[in-house]
Structure 1
Amino acid sequence: MEPSLLRPLIAGMVTAIVGFAGTFTVVLAGLRAVGADSRQAASGLLTVCVAAGVVTVLLSVRHRLPVTMAWSTPGAALLLSTGPVDGGYPAAVGAFLACGLAMMAVGLFPALGRLIALIPRSIASAMLAGILLKLCLAPVSAVAQVPWMALPVIAIWAVLYRYARLWSVPGALAAAVLAVLWTTPSLSVSPAPAVVLTWPAFTGSALVSIALPLFLVTMASQNVPGLAVLSGYGYRPPFTQILLATGAGSATGALLGGHAVNLAAITAALTAGPDADPDPARRWIASTTSGLTMIALGLGAGLATALVLLAPPVLIEAVAGLALFGALASSIAASFGDKAESAAITFVVTASGVSFFGIGSAFWGLLAGVAFHLLTRRHQAGLSAPASSPGETERSGRRI
């Protein structure tokens, strides 16, 4: 093999392996939380892997750009924090479908994208931080409940985070797998995950609790940062076509349990940067390899699901929480700027986990934060309005 071709191929495979190993536990835990059984969860993991891989390959080859796709990790964390909704798992599938169609609508009608952009970034970040907080507390709970398993996992994560940050979460996952296998020597698993079709149902609570916040966190925390990464390396990706492709992939995959596909944000730099290839015009080879590798990894969804089912739930949540610490830190940092009070309200309400009328806390947090922002903005505008001159007051008084 040509040596110059080996570099982007390796970069692409590493990108897919790190992306898969780092957060697949979040996907499985999120799907189980909204009512999926083990076969449906494995089907969902396989589907998002294949959908992300296919969209990556098609866009990379078509545009000769390092456009890398991934599943929505913040979206999976949202599912875990939301839990069951009215209508059960079919209603969650309906929400996945609605989210995919919404992404396509933004691609077709840019005015919708401008409307979403009116939500202050600090409030959107605070909502994400509130969603992630409970999951990021799981490592502490795991130490209290299963210390002999959790402490080695956390120690390995911390050491690798210091010396090889890219491999910190895969290393923690490997430690968790070894701990599970040590306590459960025999592992029975089917050779390939089942593809389970679930007919969607549509309920108001699922659309508001899952579809709307899933759409918002996917756009704000994945698609927009992913676009910024590509732009930062000098590329001009076709954002409209990306939204249409990811929306179509998400909507199609929803029927098989896939929650959302989007632009990769963190791992996008592995294929778009100079480490993939010194020549920017050849980095699409890395993203294409990443897509093909992701499809192959999806075939191992059955094994991944079996390992997750054998492990103590709190240990799986701990690994997922370790994978999301970076996202929590960045979302908190982005929350408290010039709209700190509104962001704080959003964060507190979302993190509370309360549910009203069957609608989860992410929606109420967003609603409370936006409402307080509009209230205080109007009040501040009134305070900053220029005072009337005595002549204007007198004339005004004569008209009354």
Structure 2
Amino acid sequence: MKFRTLSIHAGQQPDPSTGALATPVYFTSTFSYGTAEEGQARFAGQNPGYIYSRFANPTTAALEQKLAALEGADEALVVASGMAAVSAIMYALTNAGDEVAFIDPVYGGTDAFLRNTLTRAGVTLSRYSSDQDFAERVKANTKVVLFEPITNPTLKVIDTRIVVEAARKVGALVICDNTFLTPYLFRPLEIGADIVMHSGTKYLSGHGDIIAGIVAGRSELMQKIRTVALKHIGSPIGPQEAYLLQRGVKTLTLRMDAHIDNARKVADFLAAQPKVAKVYYPGHASHPGHQAIADTATGFGGMVAIDIEGGFAKAAVFLNNLHLFAQAVSLGDVESLACHPASTTHAAMTAEDRQRAGVSDNLVRLSIGVEDADDLIADLAQALAKL
């Protein structure tokens, strides 16, 4: 089936007891298994029945089947947040003494977890400035490399092909945070990534009403991650959130097409504005890495970033005069959102690290929603006029 069909039908079967077409929401913490022998078999993994909703829930299981199909993965796992996904991946796939690499920038929460929490488990870190930098300097003992193909918040392009090739030479696992592009536009597992993850809070949900994290990949890796995420860390998603995320995924293609179309129009408008010092948008042919995304993905996403000279003070004037764009730190909602990353999403980074990663005080990140593009452009124009 094509992607749009899969997004609706994968993982969804009429309920066997009632015939309900929509996947029921199973509000239960535990499941009866009848006999002691059956309980023993389920806990030993010899019987696929459900035991406890921290381990598995029928609503969540249907969602995971859908996401695995969309990613082209053996298995998918849904957890309580994007940060729960990052934590489970790293704790499951690394040990004390291992080397973890990441390519700047990554989401600020991920950066803080790697630097402040993972290192306490005895893992060492190396950060790289680009895919080429990683390819040239990757250490022989690197166990895992984490990157975003379009980085948050600078929209720098990281070529997955280069990262995979360099990682293979040293036997490192490749973890791709594909939140910005979604599997509709880009499927990193097909290029050789070992694990793909998302903040399901963003485009996959699309409506700003849940928190969720997604991990997908090969079975042997996913079983390790699933055990750590659900049994050890204990970060399952609730059945209500799983239901809402499944519903959101059904309209992913429709929403992403609208996000992409609006982002292109907004970026073209901003590129012509004298009060905008720079526009970051991978869909522009002049954007570094534009061709890499054009070669590997089917679209450029719905994110745009701009530089407004004058640092936080000038950025605040612009942000505070927006009306349709809500000031908020999330992204991927049907509503348009705007934020100043250096003082919000990436505030936990040191000033030196932000400068090195390109997260300047001039930078404003725009998540372009699905409103009418003319209205969004008018809102941006009147806010720029206040500068």
Superposition TM-score, scaled by structure 2 size: 0.25
Structure (1 or 2) with the greater strand fraction: 2
Superposition TM-score, scaled by structure 1 size: 0.25
Structure (1 or 2) with the greater helix fraction: 1
